[in-house]
């Protein structure tokens, strides 16, 4: 992989990781257009590892929240009298991560194999657009952050697993699930970040360790390109987070739904025309 290709992919990752438009779908399409073999072990590992940059950006952005929630969780373990809303939120994040981790690990071979087809990207974009639209329109949105329990976290962790299908979008899945649970739009978006931090750092870290030989193998992506992708995605993702939180405070997700449908039609057209192949 050339350095400029990694810069472009890092920008795409940073912009799309937290927007409900599927970062994996965008990266898969971009990699195909660049002529990269999307189901090659090195490219698959690269796609997962550069997510670390975006997740580091979310850690930096939400650092005060992370410290507050972690502190409340440990304090609650030590003293039952201190088990407030942040203690429950801590358990929700842990429960959501645990559910996602177990299922993702069990389906690892499927995720890295057949699901990498661009037809799955098209299907994921279309089907989950309907889910997002319904959640945005019919969710009561009368619950705040102080109402979230570990049961909510476990359910959102389960829903987050749908994002293992390229095109669905991890943030799109968790935000939609939270809206269906009656959680308000801003809290749903924040919860998506909180669940994403341990989930994607774990995924990227696992790939970095388990697929290190694939990255550095002859003909592989290479660690220089991978590090460039991580750094670029960090910078771009930080700006993207700030924009998204400001956007959802006063807007619904209709624009994202329309964008997803248009993108799905475009990808399907490229596939039908033979401009790109599914895998």
In a domain, 279, yes or no: no
How many structural domains are present in the chain? 1
Can you tell me the distance from the alpha carbon of 48 to that of 60, in angstroms, rounded to the nearest whole number? 20
Whether residue 253 lies inside any domain: the answer is: yes
- Tell whether 139 is covered by a domain: yes
Residue 124 lies in a domain: yes
Residue 205 covered by a domain: yes
Of 158, 267, 188, nearest to 18 by C-alpha is 188
Whether 233 is covered by a domain: the verdict is yes
Strand partners of residue 143: 183
Mean of pLDDT values over 179-185: 95
Percent of the chain beyond pLDDT 90? 61
Structure token digits, residue 88:
């429950």
* DSSP single-letter state for residue 149: -
Supply φ then ψ for residue 13, to 5 degrees: -60, -45
- Residue partners of 148: CB distance under 8 A and separation at least 6: 85, 88, 89, 92, 183, 187, 191
The token duo for 153 is 């976290």
Query: Does position 21 have pLDDT exceeding 70, yes or no?
Result: yes
Structure tokens at 246: 């400001």
The predicted pLDDT at position 109 comes to: 67
Give the pLDDT confidence of 59-91 residue by residue, as tens digits. 999 999 999 999 999 999 999 999 999 999 999
The overall average pLDDT reported for the chain is 90
Q: pTM for this one?
A: 0.87
Measured between alpha carbons, how far is 157 from 238 in angstroms, rounded to an integer?
23
**103 lies in a domain?**
yes
* 278 within domain boundaries: no
| Residue span of the structural domain in which 104 resides | 3-273
């Amino acid at each position: 992989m050339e350095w400029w290709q990694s810069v472009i992919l890092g920008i795409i990752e940073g912009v799309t990781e937290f927007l409900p438009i599927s970062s994996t779908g965008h990266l898969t399409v971009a990699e195909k257009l660049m002529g990269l073999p999307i189901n090659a072990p090195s490219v698959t590992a690269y796609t997962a590892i550069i997510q670390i940059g975006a997740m580091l950006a979310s850690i930096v952005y939400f650092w005060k929240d992370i410290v507050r929630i972690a502190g409340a969780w440990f304090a609650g373990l030590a003293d039952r009298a201190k088990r407030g809303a942040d203690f429950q939120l801590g358990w929700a994040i842990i429960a959501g991560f645990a559910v996602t981790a177990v299922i993702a690990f069990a389906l690892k071979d499927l995720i890295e194999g057949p699901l990498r087809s661009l037809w799955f990207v098209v299907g994921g974009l279309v089907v989950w657009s309907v889910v997002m639209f319904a959640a945005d329109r019919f969710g009561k949105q009368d619950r705040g952050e102080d109402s979230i329990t570990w049961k909510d976290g476990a359910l959102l962790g389960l829903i987050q697993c749908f994002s293992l299908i390229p095109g669905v979008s991890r943030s799109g899945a968790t935000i939609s699930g939270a809206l269906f649970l009656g959680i308000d739009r801003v809290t749903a978006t924040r919860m998506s970040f909180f669940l994403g931090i341990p989930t994607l750092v774990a995924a990227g870290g696992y790939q970095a360790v388990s697929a290190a030989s694939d990255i550095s193998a002859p003909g592989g992506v290479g660690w220089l390109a991978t590090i460039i992708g991580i750094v670029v995605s960090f910078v771009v993702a930080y700006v993207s987070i700030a924009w998204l939180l400001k956007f959802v405070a006063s807007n619904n997700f209709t624009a994202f739904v329309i964008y997803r449908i248009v993108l799905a039609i475009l990808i399907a057209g490229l596939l039908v025309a033979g401009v790109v192949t599914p895998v």
